Amino acid sequence: MSDTSPQPPEPRHVPVMLRRCLDLLGPALAEPGAVVVDATLGLGGHSEALLSTFPAARLIALDRDPEALKLSGRRLARFGDRATLVHAVYDELPDVLAGLSVPRVQGVLFDLGVSSMQLDEADRGFAYAQDAPLDMRMDQTTGISAAEVLNTYPPGELVRILRTYGEEKFARKIVDAVVRERDAEPFRNSARLVELIRNALPQAAKRTGGNPAKRTFQALRIEVNGELSVLERAIPAAVSALAVGGRIAVLAYHSLEDRLVKQVFAAGAANTAPPGLPVVPEQYQPRLRLLTRGAELPSEDEVAENRRAAPARLRGAERIREEAR
């Protein structure tokens, strides 16, 4: 007999690969006074778990989105002064730590990409499945919107953005259509852009890979928020902030993010001595030990429960040596 009782609604925010993130960071967070940074607070799911699981740890959490800080602040209020929430972009981590007089931390977590709240709030313009103003700013108090990018950037620059940040093979076709349309009327809402992309792509390209607008929306979001340039600064800064024995875990959601994280971790874990030295001097020894073999993926069960986990790629590393002087 089938169960006809009402089903509980799906949770608004399900932290991705939560158990594995806790396992990776855990060995560094058990001692009293340990400080862990959640560089991408969002709705606070990972932060709440870190504070609950490691009662000796103190949390510093960053987010560029004032609305996320407000909502997660309520969620984390029960932890009192163990949680410090800061309105900042994650490449500002060194300044945040300096302002709090925290020279070194024991853990750092990055959960990159768009938060559940930003996807679920229709008026933010991140989701291509519903019509909304083309905004896409993670911090709506600053910067230019996706509509401004579409309406004002030169065609060549738009092609570069779609190819580089969206890995869109049909960038030129899409941009040609955008330029024709914006000359008639500026872009304001997402539905018009989605329809334009559907009409611009060849039939064969629309039959695979999900929504054909996905790559263009990703590219615009990355451009609007400067995500890759911010990440290029943030990951090395986070590694530098780790105490010896400290650990970092990074969840990435597309190949561009993951490749950048991989490169920083690989460089930190490499022996940089000139070839042929019989003994490797201290300054050439690796600073990091990799904690994951390649990028770890979510389990099939997790993806079945939380479809937003599907593209996640998790990498972790441990600081094993101070910077060379």
- Please indicate if the annotation marks 46 as binding a ligand: yes
Token reading at 245 = 């024995």
- Please indicate if the annotation marks 218 as binding a ligand: no
- Please indicate if the annotation marks 140 as binding a ligand: no
- Please indicate if the annotation marks 13 as binding a ligand: no
- Please indicate if the annotation marks 107 as binding a ligand: no
Q: Which residues pair with 87 in a beta bridge?
A: 63
Residue 101: which region, alpha, beta or left (left: phi > 0; alpha: psi -120 to 50)?
left
Residue with tokens 């991989």: 262
Q: Please choose, from the candidates 57, 49, 44, 39, the residue with its C-alpha nearest in 3D space to the C-alpha of residue 13.
A: 44
Residue with tokens 């330029």: 179
- Please indicate if the annotation marks 87 as binding a ligand: no
- CA pseudo-torsion sign 42, 46, 49, 53: negative
Could you give the CA distance from residue 306 to residue 123 in angstroms, rounded to a whole number? 23
Q: Which residues pair with 109 in a beta bridge?
A: 38, 249
- Please indicate if the annotation marks 118 as binding a ligand: yes
- Binding-site residue numbers for S-adenosyl-L-methionine are 44-46, 63, 90, 111, 118
- Binding-site residue numbers are 44-46, 63, 90, 111, 118
